[in-house]
Structure 1
Amino acid sequence: MAKQPQSNDSSAEASSPTSLDASPARALGEFIRAHRERLTPQAVGLPPGPRRRTPGLRREEVAQLCGVSPTWYTWIEQGRPVSASAEALARIAVALQLSRAERAYLFELAAQRDPAEPDQAAADAPAALIETVQLIDAPAYVLDRQWTALAWNAPAADLFVGWLDDARGGHPRDRNLLRFTFTSPAARTLIVDWETRARRLAAEFRADSIRHLNDAPTRTLIDALSAESEAFAHFWASQDVGEREGGTREFDHPRHGRVVYDQITLKPAHREDLKLVVLVRRG
């Protein structure tokens, strides 16, 4: 029978630094332990009690604040490969009084999605971000989680014929980048080396959407594109994953001819579900 871990903190363990090759579970445990040791009982409304052998709160106290068993919490700190739900991590973040950045780092270490992230159904962008897009001289636009454009400027509308330009006949145009790329004939004419770029786009979206792949809007988009576009269905089934990269983007524009840009993608602070994309003209 496996020996249960002791809930007492050892000074040797508390002083061990995180190694660069630490496993994700160990890195998570050491991060949590470090922040536990920074908190005093008074900071969380607990009596100071007798003299303490270790700095900060005891593991049992944090476990009590989180509503979890001391054994489970001890195993998390020790870097054991135990399951930690997003809800349990959220309670730990609150108990340890983590800042916004620290909380985000906690969830990244645990490879979990923070339940307090902005609602995926929200289709708005901060007003300052929209104003920023309009101040940029180069083509610029903002994408949401499903890569639908929420805002764009005049140079972007001029460049992306069939996607961000004004729709004809008074009908609103679908502003989703994936739908445009895979279902619009204009995209195959506009985008140089369409097949390579389309394959890359599908791989980038797979990587970008992994944390909300089962959200209804994302799932609906993937299912619809798989049904409407044989190319998307093929690229998506390949399971290719790629990090969203910048670099060269070439277009055969109906008015401007062959144009070449360098693409830069930025994530606004506190709204990492959005992307600001800027294309800088070469030459």
Structure 2
Amino acid sequence: MSEPSAPSSREAELGAFLRAHRERLTPADVGLPPGRRRRTPGLRREEVAQLAGLSATWVTWLEQGRPVSMSARALTSLAQALRLSRAEHGYLFALAGRPAPRDDAEPAVPPALLASVHAIAGPAYLLDRQWNALAWNAAAADLFVGWLDPGSTERNLMRAMFLSPTLQALVEDWPHRAARLVAEFRVHSLRHAEDPPTRALVEGLRAESAAFRAAWASQDVEERQGGRRGFHHPTRGLLAFEQITMVPPAAPGLMLGMLLPTAG
């Protein structure tokens, strides 16, 4: 490995991050005997290397800000050795210039997040990775006929948007909104595109809906954004809302949608 004349800012930050987290741990934290008296706080570099199954030289060079190329597996082992949280794990990968590790487990839904849906005055709903509705409030059930109302059985937003005539009649400018929804779903589901539930959803809609098939084939991508949303409600007439979409930090695989009434 070549040694640089001066480390880059990111390499220096990576070294400082690793050193700070190493110094926070005690041997007891990781199941090691206390050993001889320590002149500095925390674990020794050799102990971190042992726990991670890495070279002590690599750990030293990383802390010194040298450009050591690390595989995703090695970074994960280092994160586990340092007992990093999920956020810290992702930050380590970002500092190392690596994509964040993929989490195949379905994220748990924090109870406070579920409760927040019902605490919102306007229509609100919580979606999972495949955009199945996990929770929604009474205002959302009243607004989204053909999807969240008591008489509907299809709780997947994508399937309802393309297969429910009632929801299609509700949504103002349905052709544009439906195509936009597909472009947004393509971005949101990218990390889990090969998961069996996601593949089954896409393949099923391609088989059942010509409109979805055409929108999916267009390869359009859009970030999920807010903005005005209009609805032709069967009993309340034309309604307008400002949509806000959030990805909860505590459950990054989920998505919270809220609609705030507007003047029209």
TM-score, normalisation: structure 2: 0.80
Q: 1:87-236, aligned counterparts within 5 Å?
A: 87-107=73-93, 110-115=98-103, 119-120=105-106, 125-167=109-151, 173-236=153-216
Offset at residue 62 of structure 1 (A):
4.5
The amino acid that maps onto 1:36 is L
Distance (Å, rounded) in 1 between the aligned partners of 2:219 and 2:55: 39
1:65 aligns with 2:68: no
Equivalent residue in structure 2 for 1:259, among 227, 234, 239: 239
Offset at residue 57 of structure 1 (A):
5.7
Distance (Å, rounded) in 2 between the aligned partners of 1:164 and 1:233: 24
Offset at residue 251 of structure 1 (A):
0.8
Task: Give the percent of matched residue pairs that are identical in Structure 1 and Structure 2.
Answer: 45
TM-score, normalisation: structure 1: 0.75
Q: Secondary structure at the match of 2:84?
A: coil
Alignment length (residue pairs): 252
Offset at residue 209 of structure 1 (A):
1.1
Offset at residue 281 of structure 1 (A):
0.6
CA spacing shift, 1:211–1:42, aligned 2, 3 Å: closer
Q: 1:237-256, aligned counterparts within 5 Å?
A: 237-256=217-236
Conserved 8 A contact 1:41-1:48: no
Conserved 8 A contact 1:263-1:277: yes
Offset at residue 92 of structure 1 (A):
1.8
Report what 1:24 is aligned to: none
Offset at residue 63 of structure 1 (A):
4.3
Distance (Å, rounded) in 2 between the aligned partners of 1:42 and 1:142: 37
Q: CA RMSD in A?
A: 3.4
Q: Which runs of 5+ in 1 are unaligned?
A: 19-26
Report what 1:43 is aligned to: 26
The amino acid that maps onto 1:127 is P
Q: Secondary structure at the match of 2:125?
A: strand
CA spacing shift, 1:258–1:210, aligned 2, 3 Å: same
The amino acid that maps onto 1:40 is E
Offset at residue 51 of structure 1 (A):
8.9
Q: Secondary structure at the match of 2:258?
A: strand
Distance (Å, rounded) in 2 between the aligned partners of 1:255 and 1:213: 38
Offset at residue 69 of structure 1 (A):
5.0
Name whichever of 40-49 and 139-148 sits farther off: 40-49
